[in-house]
Homo-oligomer: A and B are copies of this chain.
Amino acid sequence: MSLAERLRSGERRALAKAITLIESTRADHREQADALLTALMPATGHALRLGISGVPGVGKSTFIEAFGLLLLSRGHRVAVLTIDPSSTLSGGAILGDKTRMEKLSMDTRAFIRPSPSSGTLGGVAEKTREAMLLCEAAGYDIVIVETVGVGQSETAVAGMTDLYLLLQLPNAGDDLQAIKKGVMELADLVVINKADLDPGAAMRAQAQITSALRLLPAHAASVPRVLQVSALRADGIEALWAALGTLRSDRQASGAWQHKRREQSLAWLWERIQAGLRQAFMGAPGMAQQLAAATAEVRDGRTPASTAARQLLAAFQLRSNS
């Protein structure tokens, strides 16, 4: 059987191998990966794509474990992917700990894959998008993409998922951080975890976050709901799943769901074209030296930036044509 067939039949090892293939930087692997992805495309797109983020300490692993187990009990198959740009340095901050999501990772109906451990955020995000397609083709009908609050990774995750869940602690001030970073604008639903530890604080956080969400223009049409859960006690997880189901069916009925997917795909296309053009430009013969010289000229105010850019572009096109 081909890798595509084994993957389609739900073989976890084939899925793992296919993800390793798309993560490879070798040109022949890349060609195989493109062929594999294109062959599998008709089998993709049917899953619920769910983004989850929250700062370290919010209880993300415990939450995904409790949530994932509920989904399995409802007959779903769950894949968990991770975007952690810091893993390039640390060797995998999020999933370095093998004891994370212990029950979920032992269940054959779940598939957990750590973040690609090299590349820029753009590159890591691309691999994760492709891994998501592979998981869908392998029959996982719920794909969770999680991230920690590092740089722009939340925006990347929100750009590839249908619904984006923001986990918050019942701390005053935690919500302010999320507003400041612009993450609150991405959220389709906010979940206050560890609500059992201090019910009063959780209530206050719920009210505060709700008012904060009302201020944001991203939510002018409808303000995201704020729910309280305790992942450790598996409290509130069913209500959360019901709320996600309502969001999904409402948006599918209005067409907003499908529209968002199309927009995400086109944005992804352009992001990769821009990245590829930049790479071709930087890699052109002699460009490194010329760019360094132009950068110094511009930095020191000897050449206007627009003139330097035109000269570099002319040199790039001349070399490309020679």
A: contact size bracket: 35 or more
Which of B179, B272, B298, B310 touches A276 (beta carbons < 8 Å)? B310
User: Does A273 contact B281, Cβ atoms closer than 8 Å?
Assistant: yes
Q: Is the interface of A mostly helix, strand, loop or mixed?
A: helix
Report if A308-B269 is in contact (Cβ < 8 Å); known contacts: A180-B215, A262-B299.
Answer: yes
Cβ–Cβ < 8 Å partners of A309 in chain B: 269, 272-273, 276
Contact of A269 among B34, B129, B268, B294 (CB under 8 A): B294
Whether B321 contacts A295 by the Cβ 8 Å rule is: no
Residues in B with CB closer than 8 Å to A278 are 273-274, 277
Give Cα A272 to B303, complex, Å: 14
Give Cα A320 to B321, complex, Å: 5
Inter-subunit contact B277/A313 (CB<8 Å)? yes
Cα of A266 to Cα of B305 in the assembled complex, Å? 7
Answer yes or no: A108 CB below 8 A from chain B CBs.
no
Give the oligomeric copy count: 2
Interface residues of A in 260-317 (CB under 8 A from B): 261-262, 265-266, 268-269, 272-274, 276-278, 280-281, 294-295, 298-299, 301-310, 312-313, 316-317
Q: Please report the C-alpha to C-alpha distance between residue A254 and residue B288 in the assembled complex, in whole angstroms.
A: 32
Q: Which of these, B268, B298, B312, contacts A265 with CB under 8 Å?
A: B298
**B265/A301 in contact, CB under 8 A:** yes
Chain B nearest CB from A321 CB (Å) reads 6
Q: Which residues of B sit under 8 angstroms from A44, Cβ to Cβ?
A: 301
B-facing residues in A17-60 (Cβ within 8 Å): 30, 34, 37-38, 41-42, 44-45
Which of A37, A126, A277, A316 has the most B CB atoms < 10 Å from its CB? Answer: A277
Most buried by B among A273, A274, A304, A312: A304
Asked if A265 contacts B215 (CB within 8 A), the reply is: no
Residue numbers in B under 8 Å from A295 (CB-CB): 266, 269
A280 partner residues in chain B, CB cutoff 8 A: 313, 317
CB-based closest 10 A-B pairs: A272-B309, A268-B305, A320-B320, A269-B305, A276-B313, A277-B277, A34-B307, A37-B304, A180-B217, A265-B298
A residues with CB within 8 A of B: 30, 34, 37-38, 41-42, 44-45, 126, 129-130, 133, 176, 179-181, 215-217, 261-262, 265-266, 268-269, 272-274, 276-278, 280-281, 294-295, 298-299, 301-310, 312-313, 316-317, 320-321
